[in-house]
Amino acid sequence: MARKTLTAVALGAASVLALSGCAGDATATDDGTLQVVASTSVYGQIAEEIGGDAVEVTSIVSSLSQDPHSYEASARDQLTIQRADLILENGGGYDAFIDGLIEATGSEAPVLTAVEFSQEWSGDAAHDDSGEHDDHDHEHVEGFNEHVWYDPRTVVHVAEAIAAELTELSPDDGAVFEANLADFTAQIEQLEAELAEVATAHGGDGVFVTEPAPVSLITAAGLTDLTPAAFSQAVEEGQDVPPATLLQALDVIASGDARVVIANAQTGGAETTQTIDAAETAGIEVVEFTETLPDGTTYIEWMQDNIRALATALDS
């Protein structure tokens, strides 16, 4: 899955013309509701939980058929960013199209970058409590798992930042945002309680993941990732898995040390198919996770379904 960053040039002349033709609509429907734009429906849904009726949320990537890694933004997306009062992105190279849209539009809306709220994020990219988005240049960081929405604690901090930023934008609604945040946090704590139950029952058990997206969740569940790093990294980056690495991965599955294989339902390839087939042949449970929010579910419901599917597979 190659990362692509949108630039103003990449939008092309047609995009510029399309925007100029509808630029007058940018504030025509402004009724005082805060316009929140999220790179994916994961963060968009969290914003809906915190903002309630005071926000109107647009998620640019909102379908399981879309891949945020390689999403190519449109003129409509550029207009959406122009209208934004608040922008939410994952960062870490995951949704680089947002950075390109911000640069192309010159948007001055505050930007919250989820990876910056992870305990694993450090160094020059350290979290800036001001919420400012200084250079819009969040390239993939080697060795850092950017799929931070699978880490409940990071999500709590992101939700806190959303509530704080919305309160800054609309102080009169601050009490509503605070109450919604408290409700959301309580639900996250329930997810953490369920993860603790999995850890109590299966702490230390091995799992194999075809891609690193859910690793934070399995770590929170006290499980051990047995996947060769070179395997999951190659799959994530859309590269061929080296034969020696594939053999190593198949050996892990054949050994029976992995109790569950977790596959990414939105991506695949010959090597991932081989590992899934090997797991099924060995009688190992295979669970599918996704990177974006399934239609008609909330973030909490989605994570709850993932945790329970994992627990059921481990219990079998």
Q: Which secondary structure element, helix H or strand E, spans residue 204, and what is its range?
A: none
Residues whose CB is less than 8 angstroms from the CB of residue 265 and which lie 6 or more positions away in sequence, other chains included: 64, 288, 289, 290
What local confidence, expressed as pLDDT, does residue 266 receive? 80
- Indicate where the chain has its CATH 3.40.50.1980 domain(s): 8-187, 203-315
Residue 147's identity, in one-letter code, is H
What local confidence, expressed as pLDDT, does residue 141 receive? 62
Indicate the fold that domain 8-187 takes in CATH: Rossmann fold (3.40.50)
* Residues of the chain scoring pLDDT < 50: 1-29, 123-138
What local confidence, expressed as pLDDT, does residue 30 receive? 56
Q: For residue 268, how many other CB atoms are within 10 A of its CB?
A: 14
CA 268 to chain centre: 18
Indicate the fold that domain 203-315 takes in CATH: Rossmann fold (3.40.50)
The Cα 94–Cα 70 span in angstroms is: 9
Judge whether 71 and 270 are in contact, CB under 8 Å: no
Judge whether 162 and 87 are in contact, CB under 8 Å: no
User: Which conformational region is residue 162 in: left (phi greater than 0), alpha (psi within -120 to 50 degrees), or beta?
Assistant: alpha
- Local structure of 224: helix, strand or coil: strand
